């Protein structure tokens, strides 16, 4: 390995460079570049068909872009083989939309599943690790409950506990507040910030929810028809006039 392939001290956790993704005639991502530093919360906002899911799949190495590079900890993952990608994917935890818990399994079984698949921990060790994560997320003794016995907000927390169980460096959240009432949605936002503070994870959130972006984003990325329309802190984007970001702000009911 050459030294240039090693992560530099100032290297962002995640860096996307000139990524294009073409599906036939559709250019789903058109020369997208951005980076996110370790421990920061980035929010990608964009309308339906903007390319959000396409970008997410490329970031975790599920799809290879048509062109461009994706650096995770300084390593270009677009050049890796499937076996190497499996190692990279361990750096990510994914919080799925609607939590995506398995209904027939208890909370303990759901959260410990990645440990069963990827580690040699004993059941007792798995139980301790699950307990630690549930405690950190302020969930009570609910290991033996089924997902159907939990509230929407609790299910979301269990989904985050499962995403955290392998102690990833980067957490990706797909529409974390969709389908939740506004009060629960704001609690989930607080949880995302607390999770970052408690575990030091870098967090990237896909969202339609401008109130969410406004309250938690260190950095906001606005995708429009495959292009990165604008990026910056909320304060920076609020100062822009006429762009898509300002239209997003106007369309949301955010009072400053």
Smaller CB separation from Mg ion, 23 or 200: 23
Rounded to an integer, what distance in angstroms lies between the CA atom of residue 244 and that of residue 241? 9
Task: State which residue has the least CB distance to Mg ion.
Answer: 53
Q: Where in 20-59 is the site for ligand ATP (CB under 6 A)? A: 23, 26, 28, 46, 48-54
Nearest approach in angstroms of CB 174 to Mg ion is: 8
The CA-based angle 116-117-122, given to 5 degrees, is 25
Chain CA centroid to CA 211, Å: 17
Rounded to an integer, what distance in angstroms lies between the CA atom of residue 83 and that of residue 61? 11
Rounded to an integer, what distance in angstroms lies between the CA atom of residue 86 and that of residue 61? 8
Nearest approach in angstroms of CB 54 to ligand ATP is: 3
From the list Mg ion, ligand ATP, none, which binds 40 (C-beta under 5 to 8 Å, kind-based)? Answer: none
53 binds Mg ion (CB under 5 A): yes
Smaller CB separation from Mg ion, 96 or 199: 96
Tokens of 161: 């506990």
Stretch that binds Mg ion, among 19-27, 46-54, 131-139, 223-231 (CB under 5 A): 46-54
Chain CA centroid to CA 228, Å: 18
Backbone angles phi, psi at 173, to 5 degrees: -115, 125
205 binds ligand ATP (CB under 6 A): no
Residues that bind ligand ATP (CB under 6 A): 23, 26, 28, 46, 48-54
Residues that bind Mg ion (CB under 5 A): 52-53
């Amino acid at each position: 390995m050459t030294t240039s392939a090693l992560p530099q001290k100032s290297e962002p956790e995640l860096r996307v460079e000139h990524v294009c993704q073409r599906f036939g005639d559709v250019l789903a991502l058109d020369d997208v570049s951005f980076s996110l530093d370790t421990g920061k919360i980035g929010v990608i906002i964009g309308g339906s068909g903007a390319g959000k899911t396409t970008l997410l799949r490329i970031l975790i190495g599920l799809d290879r872009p048509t062109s461009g590079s994706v650096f995770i900890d300084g390593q270009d993952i677009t050049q890796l083989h499937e076996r190497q990608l499996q190692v990279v994917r361990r750096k990510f935890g994914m919080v799925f939309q609607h939590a995506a818990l398995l209904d027939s399994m208890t909370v303990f079984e759901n959260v410990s599943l990645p440990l069963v698949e990827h580690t040699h921990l004993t059941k007792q060790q798995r139980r301790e690790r699950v307990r630690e994560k549930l405690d950190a997320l302020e969930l009570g003794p609910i290991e033996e409950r089924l997902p159907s016995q939990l509230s929407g907000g609790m299910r979301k927390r269990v989904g985050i506990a499962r995403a955290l169980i392998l102690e990833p460096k980067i957490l990706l959240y797909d529409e974390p507040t969709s389908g939740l009432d506004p009060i629960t949605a704001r609690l989930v936002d607080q949880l995302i910030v607390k999770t970052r503070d408690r575990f030091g994870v870098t967090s990237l959130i896909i969202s339609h929810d401008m109130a969410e972006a406004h309250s938690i984003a260190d950095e906001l990325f606005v995708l429009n028809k495959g292009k990165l329309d604008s990026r910056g802190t909320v304060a920076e984007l609020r100062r822009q006039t006429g762009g898509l970001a300002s239209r997003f702000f106007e369309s949301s009911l955010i009072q400053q």
